[in-house]
Amino acid sequence: MTQKEMVLNAIRELPDNASVREIADRLEFLAAIQSGLDQLDRGEGIPHEEVKRQLASWLTH
């Protein structure tokens, strides 16, 4: 699926009375997900164990 198709599908899934702001928010969310996936593809992700360690430290403060 192309990115254009992904965007069109996301818009189609919204209710017919969705506002432009809601549509923009959905597209921004999709863009953020794609950016994260692109980072992982480049090997720039954070290892799972590191994420768990950071979360644990945040939750204890």
- pLDDT of 60 reads 87
Sign of the CA dihedral 51, 57, 59, 61? negative
> Which structure tokens are listed for 58?
């945040």
**pTM metric for this prediction:** 0.71
> To which H or E segment does residue 31 belong?
helix 20-41
Domain residue limits, the chain: 3-59
* 15 vs 26: CA distance, rounded Å: 12
Q: What is the pLDDT of residues 9-56, one digit of tens each?
A: 999 999 999 999 999 999 999 999 999 999 999 999 899 999 999 999
Q: How confident is the model at residue 5 (pLDDT cuts 50, 70, 90)?
A: very high
Q: For residue 61, how far is the Cα from the chain centroid?
A: 27
